Chain A
Amino acid sequence: MSRETTIWLIVFLIGAVMLFGRAMFTEHGMARMYVEESPREFVDLGDEDKSDWVSMDEVPEDVEVSAIPADRRVSWTSQKTSNYGEFVQQPAGGNIQFSLARSIGVWLAALFTLFVLSFLIKDNPLYKVAESVFVGISAAYWMVVAFWDQIVPNLIGKLSPTFVRNWAMPGLGEDARQELIYLIPLVLGMMLLWRLSPKGGWISRWPMAFFIGTFCGLRLIRFLQADFLTQIRNSIDPLYVTEGGVFDVWASLANIILLIGVLSCLVYFFFSFEHKGIVGRIAKLGIWFLMITFGAGFGYTVMGRIALLAIRLEFLFDDWLWLIDPTDKRLGI
């Protein structure tokens, strides 16, 4: 074992011992999550032909609930996120309780955060594990979202509304009618999936062409309307601004700089003329404006990433280690 590995091993062992000590031997522990559980119970007061589910709180007094068969009763427990502060302050018999699943979730989130951050030292197996998990989880996540948010309501729901109403979308209106024209996206979708097959790659060109054509038609109009025309319209501002009849120097100067900036940048983007002489000088001014824009963009990007990092560190020190309590959710412990 190399010296470097030994040092890291010792550091990790010390860290693990300290974490274990904080989790097990302090009064409050750490990374403990609490949820408020509220029982939900419904009964079917309808008859054989038509169901009429009502919440147990809304059952009329003259109805004998115990006489209703078990298959016409449904109950479950829904959860609401709570915290340690609310847990210790709740009256006796309250619904807030420790959640093992969520606490394990906090540990998992913290460990994955550390695995990813370990890449800053060097590439290592822990980072690779986190990376592999992320690839798998994110691909499946977007597939699930696409399936339930798009394919079920917009494709299966249009082709077979009755099936979807009985299965997963009981709220789908009774007036929803079958639209067989939606066989077209179904067939195009199947053709798109053909790409997975080793042969017949050209088949997926059809849906791809549809995709590209639709995208072009959509973007052609939207970009011209929302970007081209709107940006030009917004650039046409008065160069002599008055506020209550008095000349406003700063507002006028801002509008003049804005107009000069837009025009000079556009001159720089215009390559039909050689950038020489007066055109070259204006284009040079355009470059300066663009450099300021890129500098601002760079500054904002760095700030955004640092904010994300701060959020991750706050998670580690607040939710996981319970070393800080910025929102006073643990009564300052």
Chain B
Amino acid sequence: MKRNVPLLLAIIAGFVMIVAFFIPYTVSWGEDVSIWFDILASIAFILGGGNLLKVHLKKVSDQAKGWGYSIITIISFLAMLIIGLGKLGVNPNPQFPGHGHWAGQYNEIGSPFYWLFESVFKPLQATIFAMLAFYVASAAFRAFRAKNMEAILLLATAFFILLGRTAAGVFLTDFIPEESGYSGLRLENITVFIMDVFNTAGHRAIMIGVALGTASVSLKILLGVDRSYLGSGEG
């Protein structure tokens, strides 16, 4: 019951998706299972939110180190959640004005949810990702050493790509006429050649490898050979 039913569920769900691809009669089965998958993925977000609340409430209750920040997390979580789920401050839908604010768009421009998204979520997310520029550059400076052919190739390519996509790169080889037979030596054209040929070749091989790996792992799971996702214990 604890291990065989989930195993059977995984096998049936997986094979329905495969069969739906090959047999037109079963296409709607595949579509339904696909929607169920999306629903479960959405419920997983609720699970994530619930778990976040649980962890931080425990931290506050235990007065563990940094519990003050947990209060901030809980307050911001609840504020965004209540405003979003309650559609607070949302105008009615112009197509159905009689239905009140519930028929309006939860992320309508000008609504409190939109305001929180634009003023808090978006800038924080963008800045946190932008910070990676410093850390990638710093890590690269410390780790990259042109010790052998492989490292030289990696460094040189990164250098050409970074330079070739900036105005400085274009300026450096601007003296080579665009119409001449040597225009391929212009930095921006070298960059395009590297991207279109060398980079594409490597990417293609990686994609083929990933596809074969995914197919073999999927088959192992669907045939019940790999059961690691069921966990080791009986609990």
Residues of A within 8 A of B (CB): 35, 40, 42, 44, 51, 53, 55, 74, 76-81, 101-102, 104-106, 108-110, 112-113, 116-117, 119-120, 128-151, 154-155, 167-171, 181-182, 184-185, 188-189, 192-193, 195-196, 201-202, 205-221, 223-224, 227-228, 231-232, 234-235, 250, 254, 257-262, 265-266, 268-269, 286-303, 305-306, 308-309, 311-312, 315
Contacts and interface: CB of A to CB of B under 8 A. Distances in A.
A213 B97 contact: no
Contact of B84 (A135, A140, A265): A140
Given A168-B102, A217-B17, A108 B119 contact: yes
Interface string B65-86: 0100110111111111100110
Interface string B117-159: 1111111111111111110110010000000011101111111
A149 B116 CA distance: 18
A265 to B, nearest CB: 3
Contacts of B157: 291-292, 294-296, 299
Contact of B7 (A209, A228, A254): A209
Give the secondary structure class of B's interface. Answer: helix
Contact of A112 (B6, B96, B97, B120): B120
Contact of A101 (B115, B127, B200): B115
A302 B132 CA distance: 8
B175 to A, nearest CB: 21
A101 to B, nearest CB: 6
Contacts, number: 426
Given A109-B118, A151-B39, A182-B36, 19 more contacts: A40-B94, A112-B124, A135-B77, A141-B121, A143-B48, A145-B45, A169-B103, A170-B99, A193-B50, A214-B13, A214-B14, A217-B14, A223-B211, A224-B211, A224-B215, A261-B204, A296-B157, A302-B158, A305-B133
Contacts of A221: 17-18, 21
Contacts of B66: 128
Contacts of A182: 36, 39
Given A185-B39, A189-B39, A291 B154 contact: yes
B24 interface: no
Given A167-B102, A192-B43, A221-B17, A134 B158 contact: no
